[in-house]
Amino acid sequence: MDKADIVADTLLESKKIVVFTGAGISTESGISDFRSPGGIWSRFDPSEFTFQKFLASEESREKYWAFSSSSWPEMSAAKPNQGHNAIAELYHMGKLDCVVTQNIDGLHQKSGIPEERVIELHGTAWWVKCLECGQRYPREEIHKRVESGEKVPRCDACGGIMKPATISFGQSMPLEETGEAERRSAACDLFLVAGSSLVVYPAAQMPLIAKDNGAKLVIINLEPTPHDHYADVVIHEKTGEALPQVMVRVKEKSGERN
Ligand SMILES: [Zn+2]
């Protein structure tokens, strides 16, 4: 039995899986990892793009929108990869409780997982939200306005300041999503990490909540994580390579069992 076999058996035994994804799965779809060396934050200074600065001046907002708009075409055009597709297969098998993700790119939804099964801890780049009245606008619509010269778009409904519906540096985590993710983590029977290094809060604590409540823990991430010693199985590979291999075994084994 190799590790893919063991994970396949674990998936087959599980009925309520929470999959936790981070930047690792998105970079395999060509999306820049903001925090990695050579990533956007080595070329831009993150302290220029905090939520506090965004609120403080029109100049900062203009800079933010220019920066954010430059990465939107890449993000909106990105396609789910084999890692996303493997997770979508778990959904179709009726085993997925939900995906909890640190990613803002909407690729799980694009892979066919319904919106209500995806908990986005860092918000989403697909919507723009008015900070005054809460009105939401599709990103593409606002992107076109920025492209055609509106440097800092304002809300049609109230004239308020608008920002992509992502969680910026200095902005607090969304309470509702974080609480929901913690409840689901506590109630699952398998917590599967796919492409997260599990270092930032609240990502770091979710696997522990799951494990403390009796779930199995499987970690698939290219680099070691601080929770590897806590996991039942750890695979240090790309999720787009490891997960499809696991799903092949799952199909073989479920064929055997039928
Ligand atoms: Zn508004």
- 69 alpha carbon – ligand 1 mean position (Å): 20
Cα–Cα distance, 50 to 149 (Å, whole number): 23
- 49 alpha carbon – ligand 1 mean position (Å): 21
CA angle 174-180-182, nearest 5°?
100
pLDDT digit string (tens) for 238-253? 999 999 999 999 999 9
Tell me which amino acid residue 142 is.
Answer: I
- 231 alpha carbon – ligand 1 mean position (Å): 45
| Structural contact between residues 122 and 166, judged by C-beta atoms closer than 8 angstroms | yes
| Structural contact between residues 181 and 207, judged by C-beta atoms closer than 8 angstroms | no
Going residue by residue through the chain (258 aa), what tens digit of pLDDT does each one get?
Answer: 799 999 999 999 999 999 999 999 999 999 877 655 455 555 667 788 899 999 999 999 999 999 899 989 999 999 999 999 999 999 999 999 999 999 999 999 999 999 999 999 999 999 999 999 999 999 999 999 999 999 999 999 999 999 999 998 889 889 999 999 999 999 999 999 999 999 888 888 999 999 999 999 999 999 999 999 999 999 999 999 999 999 999 999 988 765
Tell me the residues surrounding ligand 1 (ion) with CB < 5 Å: 130, 132-133, 135, 155, 157-158, 160
- 156 alpha carbon – ligand 1 mean position (Å): 7
Q: What are phi and psi of 178, to 5 degrees?
A: -65, -45
User: Which entry of 108, 122, 143, 227 is annotated as an active-site residue?
Assistant: 122
pTM of the model: 0.93
- 150 alpha carbon – ligand 1 mean position (Å): 16
pLDDT digit string (tens) for 27-71? 999 987 765 545 555 566 778 889 999 999 999 999 999 989 998
- 172 alpha carbon – ligand 1 mean position (Å): 20
- 175 alpha carbon – ligand 1 mean position (Å): 21
Minimal CA–CA distance to 126: which of 111, 105, 96, 112? 105
Per the annotation, the verdict on 122 as an active-site residue is yes
pLDDT digit string (tens) for 182-191? 999 999 999 9
* Helices and strands: H and E segment counts in the chain: 11, 9
